Amino acid sequence: MKVIICGAGQVGWQIARHLSGEKNDVTVVDNNPDLVRRATDTLDVQGLAGFASYPDILERAGARDADMIIAATHSDEVNMVTCQVAHSVFAISRKIARLRSQSYLDAIYSDLYRRDHMPIDVVISPEREVADAALQRLAAPAAFDTETFLGGKAQLLGLRLDEECPVLNTPLRQLNDLFSTLRVVVLAVRREGRIFAPDAGDQLFAGDEAYVFAPLEDIPRTLEVFGKSDKKQERLVIVGGGNIGLAVAQSLEASGGRSRAKVIERERKCAERAADELERTIVLNGDGLDSSLLSEAGIARADAILAVTDDDKTNMLSAVRAKAEGCSYAIALINDPTLLPLMEPLGIDAYINPRATTVSSILRHIRHGKVRAVYSIGDAEAEVIEAEVLSTSNIAGTAIRDIDFPEGVLVGGVLKGKEIVKPTGGLRIEAGDVIVLFSLAADVAEVEQLLQVSIDFF
């Protein structure tokens, strides 16, 4: 597949890394020559310095015979015009644009993206993706990372294991025997910085980070097995009243539940806007690092703090200060992946990586076959992939033990009709099933070959 990626920033570079690693023909376009050089020096891609929306630049990038264009520059308008040029001049069939401005994303203007208006096939909103990720973290406070699959029927949880975990030093196959009715699968383990797909004989140790997959109804029991509580987060302090913090507060208000939030925002205009748009949420104007303001927000009695400003260090320090003041659970928005190893030493319970959520969202729309969801783990080290099995797929009609999966791949669950089935070696994968797989990044291309179909392919 020939793909043009416009924008060589963090998101564009990661998408290029994924696609080039899977032997696609990738060209990266950016008006910053240094970013283009970084991409061409570190990845197997072609690069072109120039403005992505200019027809002559797209032509030089190979738009005449491109299969897809991904517009992920820092400008919404450039991304929109790039898709328009790609459609009108070069007839590129698949166009994906990243749009940040909420005005462009309002549902009442959704007709804007029809082919006879602004022809964008997929619109990705990083801030909405991050807000959704924040709500998922709040719904699963025992986990440092989480994502839903199978239409919300199952969940991936990242659990940090401590000395109190009841199942330490126990081979995973023994866990299956002990909890035979529990449909939970340990898909991945991160140990001493390295992530791997465990074998049945592997054990879990204190300090491990385990990624487990289970249907929603099995989550409470799963948390109990791994020594985690399922406490609900009802009193929340949000540091950052921009689009992300506002979206989270609005969702909590709309849910009609018992959850109540207080928002702290440093910029006065932004705080006033949040106060105007929220009905039951108290908005405080000030610095989220100010201990007296945190005290006014009731941080000592709060169940959680969610720090989502546009500054990583502010988010981290706000979370640390809140924990010191008595808040039991802290979530921080972290853009820089090199800061993630500091989360545990600083006592920050969970993080949200905007780049990973955006990359996951874009990958969902560019995978081969009937891929329905993709979640990128860590610094693009691995993926959890949800895909429908079609009759022409290589794995249809085959028992799991007979499928030639790469060593770094595990099956988390299979949806047969309306029932989620725990994968066993003898379970036969049939056409129409939906399968959830964990794959190390190096094995994704081979997984795609197994999922690939002969008639439903672009």
Other Cβ atoms within 10 Å of 319 Cβ, number: 30
Q: What average pLDDT is seen over the chain?
A: 87
| pLDDT(111) > 70 | no
pLDDT, residue 392, reads: 80
Q: Are 435 and 373 in contact (CB under 8 A)?
A: no
| pLDDT(63) > 90 | yes
Q: Are 215 and 413 in contact (CB under 8 A)?
A: yes
Confidence of residue 61 (pLDDT cuts 50, 70, 90): very high
Confidence of residue 254 (pLDDT cuts 50, 70, 90): confident
Confidence of residue 458 (pLDDT cuts 50, 70, 90): very low
Q: What is the mean pLDDT of residues 327-332?
A: 91
Long-range contacts of 292-298 (CB under 8 A, 24+ apart): 293/264, 294/237, 294/264, 294/318, 294/321, 294/322, 294/325, 295/325, 297/237, 297/262, 297/264, 298/235, 298/237, 298/262
| pLDDT(8) > 80 | yes
By mean pLDDT, which of 52-56, 73-77, 183-187, 452-456 is the weakest?
A: 452-456
pLDDT, residue 107, reads: 59
At residue 215, φ and ψ (nearest 5 deg) are: -65, 155
pLDDT, residue 10, reads: 80
Confidence of residue 193 (pLDDT cuts 50, 70, 90): confident
By mean pLDDT, which of 264-273, 320-329, 363-372 is the weakest?
A: 363-372
* Residue indicated by tokens 């080039």: 20
pLDDT, residue 368, reads: 53
pLDDT, residue 367, reads: 59
pLDDT, residue 108, reads: 60
SS3 call for 337: helix
pLDDT, residue 375, reads: 86
Q: Any idea which fold 358-451 has?
A: Alpha-Beta Plaits (3.30.70)
pLDDT, residue 135, reads: 85
- What percent of the chain shows pLDDT beyond 90? 50
Q: List, as one string, the DSSP characters of 402-437.
A: GS---TTEEEEEEEETTEEE---TTPEE-TT-EEEE
pLDDT, residue 178, reads: 85
| pLDDT(454) > 60 | no
| pLDDT(114) > 90 | no
Chosen CATH of 130-225 out of 1.10.3720.10, 1.10.268.10, 3.30.70.1450, 3.40.50.300: 3.30.70.1450
Domain ranges of the chain: 2-124, 130-225, 236-352, 358-451
Equal CATH topology for 130-225 and 358-451: yes
Better-predicted residue by pLDDT, 118 or 264: 264
At residue 136, φ and ψ (nearest 5 deg) are: -65, -40
pLDDT, residue 109, reads: 64
Single pTM value for the model:
0.72
- What percent of the chain shows pLDDT beyond 70? 95
Domain with residues 236-352, CATH architecture: 3-Layer(aba) Sandwich (3.40)
The model's pLDDT over 211-238, given as tens digits with 9 standing for 90+, comes to 999 999 998 899 889 988 767 778 899 9
Confidence of residue 153 (pLDDT cuts 50, 70, 90): very high
Q: Which helix (H) or strand (E) holds 265?
A: strand 260-265
Better-predicted residue by pLDDT, 114 or 181: 181
Domain with residues 2-124, CATH architecture: 3-Layer(aba) Sandwich (3.40)
Q: List, as one string, the DSSP characters of 368-401.
A: SSEEEEEEEETTTTEEEEEEEPPTTSTTTTEEGG
The model's pLDDT over 371-405, given as tens digits with 9 standing for 90+, comes to 788 888 877 789 899 988 888 888 889 999 999 88
pLDDT, residue 80, reads: 93
pLDDT, residue 457, reads: 39
The letter for the amino acid at 72 is: A
pLDDT, residue 420, reads: 94
Confidence of residue 26 (pLDDT cuts 50, 70, 90): very high
